[in-house]
């Protein structure tokens, strides 16, 4: 079990477009297990590989409620092939933007084509929290953050706050 450090803004890697996973092999399985450990430890309900500094199109999600059995989901090379016109609003946060939350409106239902952890192609139809979480994490693979969906003024305030914090860190 390895808990990997999670990168936070303004790390430029978070703005990079992740590359497709080419092979589902034991190295990838290890990375998936480390990402799940990292997500549960944080704790969070979703994590994209780029957040642990691996810019590959891979994410893990678990939207099970507290007290329920864990339901880890793995999405390799996920692609949204359909989104509903219905929209829903959730208050979102991000492990890469600690302690900041804002309401984001997104399609309420999405259908995602992806590989599972065995490399088998799957179609997942998601609604509710899972639909929002999937879209948030797939955004990460494209270098997009949830603050890109809020007003420019609010976004600039958040970025400024984290940039200042990063500058005031002393490197020796
Ligand atoms: Zn995030």
3-state secondary structure at position 122: strand
How many residues would you count in the chain?
172
Question: Are 57 and 19 a contacting pair, CB within 8 Å?
Answer: yes
* Ligand 1 mean position, distance from CA 149 (Å): 12
3-state secondary structure at position 40: helix
Task: Please say whether the structural domain 12-169 has been given the CATH code 3.10.310.30.
Answer: no
**Residue 85 designated active-site:** no
d(CA 156, CA 27): 38
Query: How many distinct helices (H) and strands (E) make up the chain?
Result: 3, 7
* List 92, 125, 137, 156, catalytic entry: 137
pLDDT of residue 172: 64
3-state secondary structure at position 157: helix
pLDDT of residue 70: 95
What is the per-residue DSSP string for 51-115?
A: GGT--BSEEEE--PPTTSPP--EEEEEEEEEEE-S-EEEEEEEETTEEEEEEEEEEESEEEEEEE
pLDDT of residue 66: 85
Give the chain's radius of gyration (CA, Å).
16
Q: What is the mean pLDDT of each run of 10 residues along the chain (172 residues)?
A: 94 98 97 98 97 98 94 98 98 97 98 97 98 98 98 96 86 63
* Ligand 1 mean position, distance from CA 69 (Å): 23
pLDDT of residue 69: 95
Every domain of the chain and the residues it spans: 12-169
Q: Which residues are bridge partners to 124 per DSSP?
A: 112
Instruction: Say what the pTM is.
Output: 0.95
Burial 136-169 (b: 16+ CB within 10 A, else e): bbbbbbebbbbbebbeeeebeebeeebeeeeeee
* Ligand 1 mean position, distance from CA 120 (Å): 25
* Ligand 1 mean position, distance from CA 160 (Å): 18
pLDDT of residue 128: 97
* Ligand 1 mean position, distance from CA 92 (Å): 9
* Ligand 1 mean position, distance from CA 22 (Å): 23
* Ligand 1 mean position, distance from CA 90 (Å): 13
Instruction: With CA atoms as reference, report the closest residue to 74 among 107, 47, 41.
Output: 47
């Amino acid at each position: 079990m390895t808990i990997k450090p999670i990168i936070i803004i303004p790390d430029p890697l978070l703005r990079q477009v992740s590359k497709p996973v080419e092979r589902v092999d034991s190295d990838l399985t290890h990375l998936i297990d480390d990402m799940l450990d990292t997500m549960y430890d944080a704790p969070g309900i979703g994590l994209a590989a780029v957040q642990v500094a691996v810019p590959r199109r891979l994410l893990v999600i678990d939207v099970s409620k507290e007290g329920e059995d864990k339901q880890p989901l793995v999405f390799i090379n996920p692609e949204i092939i359909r989104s509903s016109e219905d929209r829903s609003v959730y208050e979102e946060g991000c492990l890469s933007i600690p302690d900041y939350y804002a309401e984001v409106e997104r399609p309420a239902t999405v259908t995602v084509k992806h590989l599972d952890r065995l490399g088998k192609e799957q179609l997942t139809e998601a609604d509710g929290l899972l639909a929002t979480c999937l879209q948030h994490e797939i955004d990460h693979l494209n270098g997009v953050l949830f603050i890109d969906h809020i007003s420019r003024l609010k976004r600039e305030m958040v970025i400024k706050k984290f940039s200042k914090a990063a500058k005031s860190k002393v490197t020796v």
